[in-house]
Structure 1
Amino acid sequence: MSDTDSATSASADARVLLSTWANENDEWVRAIVRGVLSTGRALVAPYVDDVYALFRQEKALDARTLPKEPPLAVAASPAESDEVLRITSLSEVTGVNALVSGAVITPHEGLTILYGENGTGKTGYSRLFKTLAASRTADQILGDVSQATASAQGALITYDLGTAKHRFRWSGETGGVAPFTRMSIFDSPSVNAHVDADLEYVYVPASLALFNHVNAGIQAVEARIVADLAALATGASALLSRIPRDATAYPLVETLGASTDLDTLRALADTTGDVDERIAVLQKAVAALEAGTLSASLKAQQRVSRVLTQATLVAAGIEAFDVDAYNTTRTIMAALEIDYALVRTELFEAADLPAAPDDTWKTFVEVGESYRQHLVTAGAHDENRCLYCRQPLGERAQELVAKYADYLADKIGAEIAESRKSLAMATATVASINAPEVTAWVTELADQTERPDFYAHVASIVSVLDVVKASTSSGTAVDPELTARVAVAHAVLTAHLAEVGGEVKVLEFEDANRAEALQTRRRELVELTAAAELGRSWALIDIQVKNAKEADRLTVLARPAPTLRRAVTGLSKIASDALINQSFATYFAEECGSLRAPSLKIEYIGRDGSAKRRKVLVKKHRPSKVLSEGEQKVLALADFLAEARLSGISAPVIFDDPVSSLDHRRINEVAARIANLAQSAQVIVFTHDLAFTMTLLHLMEPSKRCAYFQIDDEEGKGRVTRASHPRWDTMSGLKKNINGTIAAARAEEGQARAALVRTGYGWLRSWCEVFTETELLQGVTQRHQPAVHITQLGKIKSGALPAAIDPVVRVFEEACRYIDSHSQPLTTLNVAPTLAGLEAHWAELQAARDAYIHADD
């Protein structure tokens, strides 16, 4: 390294950059940087509390008690290194998708291939590794969704960390588990992130993490400032909730702050000792006005006024009734009636009346007289004829009619009629006196214990009225003392009526002005309540104003924090460019070259102390908008491998189906890169691509740093079998199938046997192909093998080939006639194979194989 390079490296060293920058800033900033540099980790809460205390004292918010923070000594970062992590086994997997239990994977320290077709269970193991590593594309691991009850999630992972051996029992933890978080994992879902996203580095050197920790420390101090600001503001809201919103003091308290005029606010406060009593009085007055009790009182007094008015009218009516005249007229009329009866008896004693001259008879006479007068008026009366029968009247009849006339003209009768008229008028006057409201009021209060003082007088008037009405109605005498009682009651009620009338007028006036009175009382209550609260809370107000002044200062002091964080981010970009970006650019260029990935521009960006990278093509286009799917895949692989190399690759690198969407040439290039990586690191590959698998096995053959596992679902998803290469048809497997088919055909007849025989010929045809590949030609060329094994040519028994080739070719051609995949000529289309023929051909082939195997014996 040149002197210039050394100087550049030193100037980009994280500890040097941070120390130099901190010494140019406030004490509390130096305290944050000192704490981060001394521990290499994020600051713990108690330490941040101490830094915040230093911040407050340095800014004169609190009294200074802490010592001055000295400048930081500048020291370069120590070299970083990680112990090598190697997975040695994965076993006892439960509750992961539908994987069967019992599988064991023992990864090689070089390359481990986990091969299986789609749906055989590879994804379950891949998801487990991604969860342990907290991969960018890790997703939730589900149990077997086809089962009603899912098994508990678990797995046993053994691993080496350096020279120490460890065991970890996974129980479903998510979010990554150290040290497995050091593993690098690539899969198809991560392609978009590696191609288009503004991607943070998975590996961040410890020295670069210092910038994140410093920024986190600054943010923690900011958070405490925000918390203090919130606490300083709570007092105002608490006080404000106790002040009525429409009080004069409310807007002053609402804007309580550093600029508040305390003298103006103090003038509105009330600290007198009786303020609570005055509030209580106002509250009662407001409650009464709000409840409408004034209107109720007015209505009650108006009713009393009506009752008293009606009672005085009744009393006046009773007093106007002349009891003496009534009683005198009644006495005179009684005497007249006696005299009248006597005169009537004497007058008609000799008249030979059919019955005594009673009232009915009198009515008869009066009606006759009325009819006579009618006839006189009409000019049709004849005194010599009877009014009723019109017969001529005799002498005696005329005498009787004359007596009738005398009777009707009698003075006593006239006096009686006049007396009755007088009594009727007196009775009618009394009967016309009605007091329904008075009567109802007296009845309503009769059973109550609390009654007005004048109740007895009103009840007395009602009682007298009832007695007078009853007497006049029956024609009996009326007690003169009753009117005297009424006169007394009348006088009392008149006085009460005047008093009640005055009260009614007052209440009517007050009720008419109740709304205005209510508004006035409410306003008085609001202002007095606010004044009392101001008086009780004056100490709080004083503190709040001080808090507001402190909050203003804190707000100003907090403003430089974002600038400080941006400065740390700038320092981080300088350091990351030297420590990460330049190395990444070199690694990325190398990987793009080995994988033939498209060339593009990488932009390095940084935010909040984090280093990120972005890939763009010309005109700032995202790569995914221009590149094909295959080009995106190799570009993502190049980005992934370059990122993995930043950490020195001291942990497993895992690939999950890395060659999907790639052509044959790119598959070979990816296989070559993975094989090269596996020479120095532990690499695990999940794949279902057979050509890719065979290429990897071929590339790893010289170093033998490879383990191959077959994953299938023959006995449940995720069964793992250790093998040397992917499974294909074997001689032993085919032999077993042929013998089984022949045995089954022997047990059947007709069409069932014919179908089994055809199946048997299909197996014979496959046997001929595998025998030719593996034994006649000794595996020089085989299906799925990427190369020709020239070294195997010497093992071919050329002398025995003709004897073996003849039966193999004949039986192969015969078998082709009977399998469905070959078309048949019409002449042989309906010629069915026989079981005997199948058995004979199988015996011939086995004999040919035995002869070839033992040709040199």
Structure 2
Amino acid sequence: MNNTVLAKWFAERPQWLQVAAIRLLEQSELAEKDISELATLCQQEADGKLPKTTYPFPASAFSQGASGTLRLCSISDVEGVNALAPKKPLEFGKGNITIIYGNNGAGKSGYVRLLKHICGARETGILHRNVYKPDSALQKACISFEQDGVTKSHMWSGQGICEDLSSVDIFDTSFGKVFVSSEDEVSYEPPVLSFFSSLIVVCEKVASALDVETNRHQSKKPSISTDKKVTPEGIWYESISAKATIRDIDKHCVFSSSDETEIQTLQQRLAEQAPADKAKQLRKQIIHIDSLAQDAQKYLEQLSDENYRRIIAAKKNSILKKTAADATAEKVFSGSDLEGIGSDVWKELWEAARNYSVSDAYKEAEYPNVSDGSRCVLCHQTLTQEAKEKLSSFENFVKGEMQKAATDAAKDYEIASQTIEALPTSETLKTRIDAAGIPQDEVASQVTDFFAQLQARKDQLLGIDSEEAIPDPLLSPQWIEESNAQSKRLVELAAKYDEDAKNDNREEIKKKLSSLQARKWLSEQRSAIDEEVSRLKLLNQIQEAKKTTNTKALSQKKGELAEDLITDAFVQRFNAELKALGAFQVKVDLVKSKVSKGRVLHKLQLRGASQNGLADVLSEGENRIVSIAAFLADVTGKSNQAPFIFDDPISSLDQSYEEAVVQRLIELSQDKQVIVFTHRLSLVGTVRHFAEKKAIKPDVVSIRSADWGTGEPAPIPLSQSDIKSALNTLMNQRYQDAKRASENGEFEHVEILLKSICSDFRTLVERSIENDLLCGVVQRFQRPVHTLKLKELAKLKHEDCNLLDSLMTKYSGFEHSQPAESPVELPKPDDLLTDMTSLKIWREEYAKRTA
């Protein structure tokens, strides 16, 4: 593998994946913390917040190291797994091939299922607890093994696998279904392919972590009512997405006081049954509103500081001119006999006399008439010369400049004062407020208070003689502006009522009202909408991140590598295994099917057939032998020395296939540990036969079902155990147990023990006939006939047959049923020991005898 090419390929991958690759090379398996950190990096990269960096791929990656060795030693402390409840560990022996024998229900399948879960088989299945003990403890087991010469143990606690044992390969019925009925991945992978497989798993875990993050951000968007959904605002709200901008949101969600007014207006328009009359009514109201506002503005201008200053100036000028005129009058009238000459009262009298003179008494003469014979227009007496002179001087005064100036100034002051009109009374003002449609609320109070302020300012003017005494000016009140706005709105509303009277536009009004009401609702949900848009943007970012977890590129790359590193070799191994197993007539081919998520998948197909109905065409035995060939092709390509485990591999096989499989297993055991679970004694015998030819001694372990559960290690069946060892066990252990029970007076127990010893002794006598007397020419559970051993039968004597016949006859009653009326009597313990001793002595002598 060219790491330079691989480094270049990885440099083109997402940064977070480069980080994942480096971590995976450093620690072989990533923890949950790593996955969480990678998911964060993935999101940051998708969001553009991850600094651009390249992580160089190590040049030393995937260098081929030395293959390790692995041996399974034992399983112990099993709890909560099927009906398994062994009190003693299940030992796997010291040799390279071990047969675990047990009858149906002894616990073999339970051990295999347990091993599949601990070692991580491809199809583990469900590992049930003891269905007869629903309250059983949690699942657990301890498995001990030897790795590269170092003894280790793993405590399995019901879940997970032991990574050190992940290379152990297990064959059972499920494996056959995988390869014959479907397709499966090649389990052997060179380091680089294993690395890609692990990296694909990391991608899937990161994708799952991103899914979890997505699920954490559930929508809290409130539901909109059905009637609002059909409005433009409702349609927008229902389809809101991460692309929504602040401008979009404002466009649909901003709701002002004018909008609220518009809603009320539309509601009024819909409620109005006589829109034309309503328009007339509104126009009358508008007149009163405008009049009230205009008058208020007029009075505000009349009482402004500028007008105040103008009036005060006129007042001051009038006073000044009058003072000057009074001073002149004082000089003119200083000799008068009467007081008040020249005063304002006098002036009024003088003007009244003038009017009388020119209009009635002396129409043709100027006033005062001082001609000869003229009379006083007041007393009608003839004027004396002195009187004439006084009247002429009075007229000159009145018509003089000073007096005229004083008179003019007084008129100017009067005119200026008249620029401030009389304000309406409180009763008049209330009537005008009602006519303007202003409700008796705060606004009405503002109007009343303002006019009261105007009246107070007007009243203050009478006592003010200088600009310095002018009070602070009144500002234009807010209600005037509001009244003008209200007047404008009413003008528009009146026009709309006129339009309503002319046209039938109620549906259009309803739509507009619904739209405004929807926008009002949206404005109330603004914070939730902002939150929803932020959530959608975050989800978009997470989805963009998740796209980078797609395993397609990794799968394609692994597929390319697999073409060179594994596929052809695997097919060749499969064909070789079929040949080694004697399956010449089975016409099947193993072909690559596809690459899925980096897994190289294969399938079996019938050679030359139009359809691939493999499971329907092959017999059960052929299915099994093809499955075994595929399994062996799968696992023999590994460089390590991991054990093989077979669960009843010869099921459904005939004698030829059975022997071929056994020979292949023995061949495999020369390099690796092979463990076979079986319920067939014939397999035990066949393994022993072919192992003997290879000078290999297999370990045979027996398990049984006990009162407390299954899987309990037990003595090897006498039919398969060593006769000498079994006979010594009967004589030195079990006979001694019976003797001690007899000495203790446990007579019922003694009887049970003696019956058991007699039955087993009968079996050993029968096996001695096969193996010793007949020299093993023909043996049960074994197919071959050893004709070369026939010559050894020459040493057979009549006495040998008599001894074994007598023993067979004496102890047959303990192997076969007997009539109840004549039960078999148990031998005395000493007699039993004598018979067992005689068999032992005979075997030793017969073995030394020559023909």
- Give TM-score scaled by structure 2 length: 0.55
Residues 850 and 802 (structure 1), Cα distance of their counterparts in 2 relative to 1, 3 Å cut: farther
Contact 1:650–1:681 (8 Å) recurs in 2? yes
Contact 1:269–1:535 (8 Å) recurs in 2? yes
Contact 1:97–1:142 (8 Å) recurs in 2? yes
Report the secondary structure of 1:613's partner residue. Answer: strand
Q: Quote how far apart the aligned CAs of 1:195 are.
A: 1.8
Task: Please show how residues 452-531 of structure 1 align to structure 2 within 5 Å.
Answer: 526-531=514-519
Contact 1:19–1:72 (8 Å) recurs in 2? yes
Q: Quote how far apart the aligned CAs of 1:669 are.
A: 0.6
Aligned twin of 2:651:
660
Q: Quote how far apart the aligned CAs of 1:255 are.
A: 4.6
- Structure 1 position 645 matched with structure 2 position 642: no
> What is the alpha-carbon distance in structure 1 between the residues aligned to residue 605 and residue 841 of structure 2?
67
Letter in 1 for 2:190: P
> What is the alpha-carbon distance in structure 1 between the residues aligned to residue 254 and residue 110 of structure 2?
77
Aligned twin of 1:568:
554
Report the secondary structure of 1:103's partner residue. Answer: coil
Aligned twin of 2:704:
712
Contact 1:244–1:250 (8 Å) recurs in 2? yes
Contact 1:595–1:669 (8 Å) recurs in 2? yes
Report the secondary structure of 1:142's partner residue. Answer: coil
1:531-572 alpha-carbon deviations (Å, 9 max, x no partner):
4356677899899999999999999x899869x743432221
> More deviation in 570-579 or 776-785?
776-785
Aligned twin of 2:282:
none
**Pick aligned residue for 1:589 from 559, 575, 581:** 575
Report the secondary structure of 1:603's partner residue. Answer: strand
> What is the alpha-carbon distance in structure 2 between the residues aligned to residue 232 and residue 760 of structure 1?
74
> What is the alpha-carbon distance in structure 2 between the residues aligned to residue 266 and residue 712 of structure 1?
79
Contact 1:710–1:723 (8 Å) recurs in 2? yes
Letter in 2 for 1:578: D
Report the secondary structure of 1:157's partner residue. Answer: strand
- Structure 1 position 802 matched with structure 2 position 798: yes
Q: Quote how far apart the aligned CAs of 1:780 are.
A: 5.3
Letter in 2 for 1:105: L
Contact 1:183–1:651 (8 Å) recurs in 2? yes
Aligned twin of 1:603:
591
Residues 214 and 18 (structure 1), Cα distance of their counterparts in 2 relative to 1, 3 Å cut: farther
1:771-819 alpha-carbon deviations (Å, 9 max, x no partner):
53355345554433555678988987937x1233357668979999999
> More deviation in 634-643 or 212-221?
212-221
1:149-195 alpha-carbon deviations (Å, 9 max, x no partner):
4355433322222233222233333x433222321111123211122
Letter in 1 for 2:8: T
Q: Quote how far apart the aligned CAs of 1:845 are.
A: 8.8
1:70-110 alpha-carbon deviations (Å, 9 max, x no partner):
88687763225553222222223333333343222221341
> More deviation in 207-216 or 589-598?
207-216
Contact 1:761–1:838 (8 Å) recurs in 2? no
Q: Quote how far apart the aligned CAs of 1:636 are.
A: 0.7
Contact 2:185–2:600 (8 Å) recurs in 1? yes
Residues 845 and 571 (structure 1), Cα distance of their counterparts in 2 relative to 1, 3 Å cut: closer
> What is the alpha-carbon distance in structure 2 between the residues aligned to residue 182 and residue 261 of structure 1?
56
Contact 1:249–1:265 (8 Å) recurs in 2? no
Residues 842 and 181 (structure 1), Cα distance of their counterparts in 2 relative to 1, 3 Å cut: closer
> What is the alpha-carbon distance in structure 2 between the residues aligned to residue 786 and residue 805 of structure 1?
25
**Pick aligned residue for 1:671 from 629, 651, 662:** 662
Q: Quote how far apart the aligned CAs of 1:210 are.
A: 3.9
Contact 1:760–1:838 (8 Å) recurs in 2? no
Aligned twin of 1:455:
none
- Structure 1 position 693 matched with structure 2 position 684: yes
Report the secondary structure of 2:131's partner residue. Answer: coil
**Pick aligned residue for 2:780 from 778, 783, 793:** 783
Letter in 2 for 1:641: L
Letter in 2 for 1:85: L
Residues 243 and 222 (structure 1), Cα distance of their counterparts in 2 relative to 1, 3 Å cut: farther
Residues 820 and 658 (structure 1), Cα distance of their counterparts in 2 relative to 1, 3 Å cut: closer
**Pick aligned residue for 1:192 from 170, 177, 192:** 177
Task: Please show how residues 17-416 of structure 1 align to structure 2 within 5 Å.
Answer: 18-23=6-11, 25=12, 29=14, 32-33=17-18, 35-37=20-22, 39-40=24-25, 44-57=35-48, 66-67=51-52, 69=54, 77-79=62-64, 83-107=68-92, 108-147=94-133, 149-173=135-159, 175-212=160-197, 244-255=228-239, 271-273=255-257
> What is the alpha-carbon distance in structure 1 between the residues aligned to residue 836 and residue 252 of structure 2?
119
> What is the alpha-carbon distance in structure 2 between the residues aligned to residue 609 and residue 17 of structure 1?
19
Q: Quote how far apart the aligned CAs of 1:227 are.
A: 9.7
Report the secondary structure of 2:127's partner residue. Answer: coil
> What is the alpha-carbon distance in structure 2 between the residues aligned to residue 37 and residue 286 of structure 1?
72
Q: Quote how far apart the aligned CAs of 1:708 are.
A: 1.0
Residues 210 and 33 (structure 1), Cα distance of their counterparts in 2 relative to 1, 3 Å cut: farther
Letter in 2 for 1:134: G
Listed as ranges, the gaps of 5+ residues in structure 1 are: 1-9, 290-515, 741-758, 823-828
Residues 56 and 227 (structure 1), Cα distance of their counterparts in 2 relative to 1, 3 Å cut: farther
Q: Quote how far apart the aligned CAs of 1:712 are.
A: 2.7
1:355-385 alpha-carbon deviations (Å, 9 max, x no partner):
xxxxxxxxxxxxxxxxxxxxxxxxxxxxxxx
> What is the alpha-carbon distance in structure 2 between the residues aligned to residue 813 and residue 539 of structure 1?
100
Contact 2:730–2:757 (8 Å) recurs in 1? no
Residues 567 and 802 (structure 1), Cα distance of their counterparts in 2 relative to 1, 3 Å cut: same
Contact 1:17–1:571 (8 Å) recurs in 2? no
1:697-755 alpha-carbon deviations (Å, 9 max, x no partner):
23333544531112233666333135497547977899999xx9xxxxxxxxxxxxxxx
Contact 1:615–1:622 (8 Å) recurs in 2? no
Aligned twin of 2:367:
none
Contact 1:18–1:571 (8 Å) recurs in 2? no
Residues 283 and 98 (structure 1), Cα distance of their counterparts in 2 relative to 1, 3 Å cut: farther
Letter in 2 for 1:684: I
Report the secondary structure of 2:514's partner residue. Answer: helix
Contact 2:68–2:640 (8 Å) recurs in 1? no
Aligned twin of 2:770:
773
> What is the alpha-carbon distance in structure 2 between the residues aligned to residue 231 and residue 838 of structure 1?
81
Report the secondary structure of 1:244's partner residue. Answer: helix
Contact 1:211–1:609 (8 Å) recurs in 2? yes
Aligned pair count reads 584
Listed as ranges, the gaps of 5+ residues in structure 2 are: 274-503, 739-755
> What is the alpha-carbon distance in structure 1 between the residues aligned to residue 219 and residue 658 of structure 2?
66
Contact 1:248–1:527 (8 Å) recurs in 2? yes
Report the secondary structure of 2:14's partner residue. Answer: helix
Contact 1:48–1:217 (8 Å) recurs in 2? no
> More deviation in 647-656 or 262-271?
262-271
Report the secondary structure of 1:646's partner residue. Answer: coil
Q: Quote how far apart the aligned CAs of 1:139 are.
A: 3.1
> What is the alpha-carbon distance in structure 1 between the residues aligned to residue 562 and residue 36 of structure 2?
27
Q: Quote how far apart the aligned CAs of 1:607 are.
A: 1.5
